[in-house]
Amino acid sequence: MSIQHPPGSIVGLPKFSAPTDFAESPLSQALKQPVLLGLFLPIQAGGWTQSTLERSTDWRFDYNKALTLKAEELGFDLVFALSQWLPKGGYGGVFNGQALDSFTTTAALAGLTKKIILISTMHVLYGPWHPLHLAKFGATLDHITGGRWGINVVTGHRAVEHEMFGWPRIEHDRRYELAAEFLEVVQRLWSDTENFSFEGESSWKLGGGFVTPKPHFGRPILVNATGSDAGIAFAGRYSDIVFITSPTGADINSALQSLPAHTKRVKDAARDVGRTVRTLLNPMVICRPTDKEAWELADRIVAHGDQRSPQGFSSLNSDAHAWKGRDPQDPYRFVGGNIRVIGSPESVVDQFLKLKAAGIDGLQLSFFDFRDELEFFGTDVLPLMKQAGLRH
């Protein structure tokens, strides 16, 4: 088997079962909610906010374990975190490079949780991974969690990360072709009842591979984050959930203008190949009892903006298309998030309603001070979301 077509135009490939084909799967149950609700765990130093203003947010495991258990208690549907391979010092400043690994962190959370979906972000093209490894590890976690585990498939967008594993950065669209080949093989290993051999365009081969146990619901959940043509086509072919950004930056008003067309484009890519995907967006939520207090906190965050990392997450020669709509002069860039949702509980829920109307199916939340703000969200925002019909 050899994949030579661009992702999204692959022909003649087998159709694999997805968790959404099973009404009893954890993903199918979560999708009964009007809006999926997730937490973007801060397993990296600085979380998502480039500011030196004092807060509790911490990259260590115990802190993120407590967040996950609180999110599960509040009825959140899923959690996941980023994966990064950075040189000493990271991006600089508060983003100093200290970070847990997403895969091992979510694996460790598997036995500590009962209902919440756990997604591991994994760079599938970097040196150590072979499809047989991932298929076996993934099937194991699928069984440990009863189908609550999945992969956020990442192909890598910084030259320094590829170079760390000993090769030049792979060209952007080519990365998706290789990731498609990788996932086709992994899905064969999850579904085939006989040994499977493979030799394709990538550097790895498979001779009589076989994996047990088989996943509970066809395969684990698949997610990917993208904004490019190649990435969107890939998502349409493989993903259950597509993690998107606003093409016009993090300002909520600008984002609401561009998101309807963007979300339609993402969903149409799946419909074109007979599938359905859900869109997931990452709002940075700054919520206080009043709009005035929320904006005052946002302004304090900006006043303590960390200038030691002028480009933040877009540093180190990134070719990610999703970041192209960012304004490097936006003073609120220090706040973080794909979208900024700032205001009172009522204002926050109103903005969530507008995002849903723009085609957003899920909200993967970030906070400035995760511990305290997640608690406030649960007591003051979540009840209003239920009243507004966003949550059951």
Chain segment 298-345, per-residue pLDDT in tens: 999 999 999 888 677 666 566 666 556 567 778 899 999 889 999 999
Cα atoms in the 13 Å half-sphere on the side-chain side of 390: 25
At 342 the three-state DSSP class reads strand
Name which residue leads in pLDDT, 328 or 17.
17
CATH number 3.90.400.10 is the correct assignment for the domain at 19-387:
no
| pTM (global) more than 0.75 | yes
Q: Which of 3, 25, 23, 22 is nearest to 14 (CA)?
A: 3
Q: Where are the domains of the chain?
A: 19-387
Q: What is the dihedral of CA 334, 337, 340, 343, to 10 degrees?
A: -90
Question: 82 to each of 104, 153, 161, how far by Cα in Å?
Answer: 12, 11, 14
The mean per-residue pLDDT over the stretch 124-142 comes to: 90
pLDDT tens digits for 139-186?
999 999 999 999 999 987 778 888 888 878 888 899 999 999 999 999
Q: What is the mean pLDDT of the chain?
A: 91
Helices (H), the chain: 26-30, 61-74, 102-110, 131-145, 159-164, 172-191, 229-238, 252-271, 291-303, 345-357, 370-376, 382-387
